[in-house]
Copies of this chain bind each other. A is one copy, B any other.
Amino acid sequence: MRFKRSLLFFVAILSFSILDNVKAQNKALTLEDLTPGGKTYSKFVPATKQQLQWLGDQYVYALSNEFKIGNPDNTKESTLLTLEQINNSLQKANLPALKSLPSVSVINNDTPLFVFNASGNRVVLNPFTTEIVSVVKTEKNWANQDYSAKGDKLAYTIDNNIFIVDANGSSVQVTDEKDPAIVCGQSVHRSEFGIHKGTFWSPSGKKLAFYRMDESMVTEYPLVDVSARVAKTNDIRYPMAGMKSHHVTVGIYDTESGKTTFLQTGKPADRYFTNIAWSPDEKAVYVAEINREQNHFDLNRYQVSNGAKEATLFSESDSKYVEPQTPALFLPNDASKFIWQSQKDGYNHLYLYNTNGKELKQLTKGAWIVTDVLGFDPSGNNLFYMATTRSPLDRDLFKLNLKSGKTEQLTQEAGMHNIALSGSKKYFIDNYTSQHNPRTINISSTGKKKAQTLLQAENPYKGYAFPEIEVGTIKAADGVTDLYYRLVKPVGLDSTQKHPAVVYVYGGPHAQLITNSWMAATRGWDIYMASRGYVVFTVDSRGSANRGRDFENVIHRNLGVNEMADQVKGVEFLTSLPYVDADKVGVHGWSYGGFMTTNLMLTYPELFKVGAAGGPVIDWKYYEVMYGERYMDTPKENPEGYKNSNLLNKAGNLKGNLLMIHGDIDPVVVWQHSLAFMKACVEARTYPDYFVYPGHEHNVIGKDRVHLHEKITRYFDDYLKK
């Protein structure tokens, strides 16, 4: 679901420090300091190493006007490449000089190479010799750029068609669809099922698998651009729950023959074709095919030569839903085996399969989940993955020996570890934060060697007034499940006084607001509100991510019900605190959190007095097919569920003050949701407030985000604090 990711993006990049005691002389933080897009926001981002990455088994990073290179064993560093050297090379290639270091990525060939953009050209450069390997002129309308593993070919799209350019600059058009409703080479199925792109290079780069999506049967939704001289409509294809969905097929383009073969995926055409993987020999492509009902998938193998289906390796079904999100990962030393992720035992775990579809072994097990697989070492004996073994709030790196079955934890300190393995997988960059640690970057070994610290960031809020943040657990409404909460206390709390409180809520699947990352992932606005005397409280209720299948799928067919029951448990805890004024509890959330905020205001008016709901889902029948039907089935299949979760039916319950906010060109939760809610309130004679951010999509981002947060703050000040 796109909107969850956008939201989490903000959560992730907002991180703040604790000062245990606030001193009178401490400076005050502003929304410009605390909001992404704010003028002074960057001053408060914890220090890091710019462009830190592996170049083979050495690490590189950018510092001022040069790239440094370091030895992982002793972190001894030297200069690899200067801006001056780069510009000398560019000059020889008749390209203009750069004013600052480019943003580089690394192609890990035998000799690792830098790739970067210079004046609209894609430049491949050997950083050791400063020699330019290739230059290809790119154009501004080249979207969805995707390089082959060797970096010698670039697939891209112009409008709805795919093109490929090679290192010599010669290009070829792969698809030639005239109807703009047929889109090739782009992400499909609204980026659900782990899909985030539409082209898939074969390992050698000789073949390109790609998505072709026919949207001609999908209803058009009008987004109006009021900034034009005369407002004009941009129609987007938006399949709403229960309505006609797009048809996706998978093409295979052979760069040598120039021919395209389509996989013979057959009917029904409105299924989901996901988790595309190439067999190592490039003779087959694997596709996980989910039915429209999303309660069953087959992992199928197709012959590349003619597109024929060779086999269904295995299937999974679930009475609620299945949601495969990661392609098969083949063993480097045995092309007949691959790793598959599944939450069929209740938690996302790793399984070893053979290409006959036989499950050979469950590789991981326990009441925790694998969050990411980072790949194998060159021998294929050791698999690296991330998991929540320590707690759902932490992420650690593990090495699993497939032969011995032995698992080794490679990260030591509690926290959210972000890992980059070196070329040979002998080393890894361990970039981690935890609630009280703004950032540590270690260079570590996947073997026995001790970690070396590359960076320890200072608390960027030192000297500023800052709240205390508490993380803990309460029981869910089922009386059994532990839920994690985060409590941001007013700056300079006087616990003999009663304070207004705001619950910041999301509540939907695929999201987790509280982690053991810097500041426990507290948002800047929460800090700001704490500085204004508010308590800010968040609980990751059932339905949220990273707690296992049954924790999340409790929401199935009845969105809002269990999530709200848990949020109410949170409020019970919150108002049990002696310094919280139980008559002054507000709620704020965006997207699914906007749905929750509105629903809580309408369902528990005695608990929630003031709400601010952004980009809210109001009626799930206006939401899209992929996410919507996974959780709700279709309106025809689940009329009760749609009726109960339809906030239009509850508009008459509004008692407190509710500010609803929407971007007028929101392509995710379309504007219709909040406008229909205003209409329902007018008819029910209730009195919400409204605000619109013209020109904004699903989130209000950029500098206007400061305005948004000021707007919301004023609303709580006007109606909750008074």
Contacts and interface: CB of A to CB of B under 8 A. Distances in A.
A694 interface: yes
A664 interface: yes
A230 B219 contact: yes
Interface string A181-195: 000000000000000
Greatest chain B CB density within 10 A among A221, A222, A238, A676 is at: A222
A675 B683 CA distance: 23
A691 B694 contact: no
Interface string A650-668: 0000000000000010000
A692 interface: yes
Given A687-B711, A694-B679, A672 B222 contact: no
Nearest to A228: B672
B227 A221 contact: no
A230 to B, nearest CB: 5
Nearest to A621: B229
Interface in A665-722: 670-672, 675-676, 678-679, 682-683, 685, 687, 689-695, 704, 706-707, 710-711, 714, 718
A230 B235 CA distance: 12
A420 interface: no
B227 A222 contact: no
Interface string A26-57: 00000000000000000000000000000000
A243 interface: yes
Given A690-B691, A690-B692, A227 B685 contact: no
Interface size class of A (residues with CB under 8 A): 35 or more
Interface in A628-670: 664, 670
A714 B687 contact: yes
Contacts of A694: 675-676, 678-679, 682
Contacts of A229: 240
A424 interface: no
A691 to B, nearest CB: 5
A7 interface: no
A231 interface: yes
A687 B710 contact: yes
Given A224-B222, A224-B224, A704-B682, A231 B691 contact: no
Given A224-B222, A227-B679, A694-B676, A689 B687 contact: no
Copy tally for this chain in the complex stands at 2
Contacts of A109: none
Nearest to A220: B230
A695 B671 contact: no
Interface string A88-128: 00000000000000000000000000000000000000000
A707 B686 CA distance: 8
A21 to B, nearest CB: 33
Given A687-B714, A695-B679, A714-B687, A230 B238 contact: yes
Contact of A231 (B222, B232, B711, B714): B222
A683 to B, nearest CB: 8
A699 to B, nearest CB: 14
Interface string A564-601: 00000000000000000000000000000000000000
Given A224-B222, A707-B682, A240 B230 contact: yes
A455 interface: no
Greatest chain B CB density within 10 A among A230, A238, A670 is at: A230
A360 interface: no
29 contacts: A219-B230, A221-B230, A222-B224, A222-B233, A224-B233, A226-B672, A226-B675, A226-B679, A230-B240, A230-B243, A230-B622, A231-B671, A664-B675, A675-B692, A675-B694, A678-B692, A678-B693, A679-B694, A679-B695, A682-B693, A682-B704, A683-B704, A685-B706, A685-B707, A687-B707, A687-B714, A689-B689, A690-B691, A718-B718
Given A222-B232, A678-B692, 18 more contacts: A222-B222, A222-B233, A226-B672, A227-B676, A227-B679, A229-B240, A230-B672, A231-B670, A231-B671, A231-B672, A233-B233, A664-B675, A678-B693, A682-B704, A682-B707, A687-B707, A687-B710, A689-B689
Interface of A: 219-222, 224, 226-227, 229-233, 235, 238, 240, 243, 622, 664, 670-672, 675-676, 678-679, 682-683, 685, 687, 689-695, 704, 706-707, 710-711, 714, 718
